[in-house]
Amino acid sequence: MSKNSSTMSPVIRKATADDLESICRIEQEGQGRWSRIQFADELKLNFSRVYVIEDGGAVIGFAVAWIVADEIQLNNIGIKKEFRRRGLGTLIMNKIIMHPDDAGPRKKIYLEVSAQNKPAILFYRNNGFIEMGRRKNYYDSIDAILMERELRT
């Protein structure tokens, strides 16, 4: 596995139960709000899409999204700390946007993020998301920021 972005060969694929340990380790490096059971449950849901990003055969990131009617709800995304700020989050998010399933294009993607998670908010803004509202005290007295991005159809 290469930490040098010029020699990386990232591969994005659908996650399997064999990826749960790696996904959970990455989750714990970030906000750490999701449990192994939650990730395992996502793998079983018809409307859920769970992807991992690998480099050299090792999982270095993941994303979880729901396909809801003509929209995508991004539920969780994480990149291993030493691989952040290399465009991998954008890469896996674009995979979700471009290939949600065979039902055709989606109109928008939306998410919620902790108001204290400044790096994530910046990441989403840099990827075309705008703030649409807030949920007061959503995360143990911390607001959730609701963001969305219109998608080209």
The pair phi, psi for residue 132, each rounded to 5°, is: -115, -10
Would you say domain 5-150 falls under CATH 3.40.630.30?
yes
pLDDT in tens, the chain (153 residues): 455 555 778 999 999 999 999 999 999 988 778 999 999 999 999 999 999 999 999 999 999 999 988 899 999 999 999 999 999 999 999 888 886 555 667 889 999 999 999 999 999 999 999 999 999 988 888 999 999 999 876
Using alpha carbons, list the distances in angstroms from residue 51 to 42, 87, 127.
11, 16, 18
Q: So what's the pLDDT on residue 103?
A: 61
Spatial distance between the Cα atoms of 47 and 69, rounded to a whole number of angstroms: 10
- E strands, 24-125, where? 48-55, 58-68, 71-79, 108-114
Structural domain boundaries of the chain? 5-150
Token pair 């270095």 is found at 60
Token pair 């055969």 is found at 57
